[in-house]
Amino acid sequence: MAEDASPLTHASLLAPGSTCWRVETADRLALFIDNDEAFDALKAILLSAKTSIWILAWVFDPLTRLDPDRVRKSRDPQHVDRIGLLLRRQAALNPALDVRILVWDMPFPIAASQLFGPHRGQVFFAGSRVKYHLDNTLPASASHHQKVVVVDGSVALVSGGDIGVDRWDTTQHLDNDPRRRLPTGHHYPARHEVAAMVDGKAAEALGELFISRWRKSTGEVLAPSPKPEAAPWPDFLTPDLRSVDLAICRTQPAWKGDPEINEAMLMHLACIKSAKRLIYLENQYLTSPIIVEALAERLAEADGPEVVTVGPAHSPSYFDQMTMDSARTAAINRLHAIDVHGRFSAFSARTPKGAAIIVHSKVAIMDDRVLRLGSANLNNRSIGLDTECDIAFEGDDETSRAAIRAFLGRLIGHFLDHETGYVLETYDREGGLAATINALDRKGGEPRRLAPVPPRPLTGVQQFIADWSLGDATAPDDAWRPWGRRTRLRRELARLMGPPPALPDHLRG
């Protein structure tokens, strides 16, 4: 339903030092659905780089193809398409170009599941001008999960997805797309991602994030990248917004003198609390008891917002199916049980023929008031164990509110194979997002594209895993002590869901 277009009078959710690290202006902001769009823009800025290319990654595979829908041969010297070859070539042709890649030094089992892409990178870039480093500065239980690319210190890509060989897909999510092919020749499943490109002071701040991470990992102190006269914004890319205040939200575990940073979680809680009509959550995981209880509190209200979640039908790995899928099912069961007013709906995304799509995106939209995206999942790890980086902006005028609303319509439309305008017209008519999805996702005899996820019983083992959040630690101090996790979560719930502490006398007005 269309939101009130009157001037906003609420306090900003973007609070540096609490819900975010910094608020900086993005001169331009573009939103991408799926890596066909994001990789096109990424390739353009990499080819335009003049001074620097800095990459933070959870996984990075030099064999990743950026443009398989337009470049037939990945080794075509005129149209280099594998990112490793592209970066090596760019660095060789421009000795002044500083190319650095910082990737999580993942343990063997996880590296094997990623076809050893990060470790292949070490060999691939050996002897080249590309500086490639595996980052092992976190405790063994944690991962570096930030996904950021900064070019020339002036334009940046922030994503929930990775630069990996099985990450590219189009918004059509076709069942048998020959372009979704691993270097081995095998095909991989459909995958959904969301990303954004920004420039201006916001991109500069993301460059500072890279500088900080590089120093902690290597000991080398980098100066800010020299900026060209014009940011290498792709000529073909029309921004969704201009001159937007952008919050940068992080997660960082308390480790070796570094303080715990949980801006991403605090932003999520503030957004959930502020929503009036709609909470839309599109996420790989919905497992954190803190997030689930915040949603349950809103669903228990007589006139609270509608809550709609979109996620995968199941996780791709067996370990996550046992751990995270059990916890996700328990979370959805809990929200269905509390939903006495009929405002909660959970959906799983499907291909045209009904196969599961790997929903790997991390998006939150509250009314047309706030949009956030990035690397943080709605699980315990993203609260205080892994490093994360999200961005968020508010709909503080008619233009930005329209952009948030349009992106919501485009997201739902891409799943259901409907145009944005038609989705929004139906939304206004139906008065709710779940009703809109159910009205549009009915084509005679065809499988649902957004299939409802009902409550499902868990086995005893699955319930035990969910109750104890096994495989989903909250911080380094409980990673290897799951028996204390429930106590910590209860303590955090009481602290975060309760009233704010009273101000000291000298700070009272």
pLDDT number for residue 384? 87
pLDDT tens by residue, 310-350: 999 987 766 666 678 888 999 999 999 999 999 999 999 99
DSSP tag of 368? T
Q: What integer is the mean pLDDT of 371-383?
A: 95
Return the closest-CA partner of residue 345 out of 279, 268, 444, 412: 279
- Amino acid 72 reads R
Spatial CB neighbours of 251, under 8 Å, sequence gap ≥ 6: 145, 261, 262, 263, 264, 265, 376, 382, 383, 384, 385, 386, 387, 388
pLDDT number for residue 508? 37
Q: What band does 506 get if pLDDT is binned at 50, 70 and 90?
A: very low
Asked whether residue 187 carries a pLDDT value surpassing 80, the answer given is: yes
Residue 325 CB neighbours (<10 A): 23
pLDDT number for residue 507? 32
From its phi and psi, is residue 345 left (phi > 0), alpha (psi between -120 and 50) or beta?
A: beta
First-to-last alpha carbon distance for the chain, in angstroms, is 39
The owner of tokens 């809103």 is: 298
Asked whether residue 498 carries a pLDDT value surpassing 60, the answer given is: no
pLDDT number for residue 96? 96
Q: What band does 79 get if pLDDT is binned at 50, 70 and 90?
A: confident
| Distance, CA of 152 to CA of 231 (rounded, Å) | 7
Percent of the residues in the chain that have a pLDDT greater than 70, as a whole number: 87
- Strand (E) or helix (H) holding 212: helix 201-218
What domains are defined for the chain?
A: 27-243 (3.30.870.10), 245-497 (3.30.870.10)
pLDDT number for residue 107? 87
Asked whether residue 109 carries a pLDDT value surpassing 90, the answer given is: no
| Residue 441: half-sphere exposure toward Cβ, Cα within 13 Å | 25
pLDDT-wise least confident of 36-45, 84-93, 435-444: 435-444
* 259 phi/psi in degrees, rounded to 5: -75, 155
Residue pair 494/290 in contact by the 8 Å Cβ criterion: no
Asked whether residue 466 carries a pLDDT value surpassing 90, the answer given is: no
The pair of three-digit structure tokens given for residue 102, joined into one six-digit string? 């910082």
Helix axes 324-338, 289-300, angle to 10 degrees: 10
| Residue 261: half-sphere exposure toward Cβ, Cα within 13 Å | 21
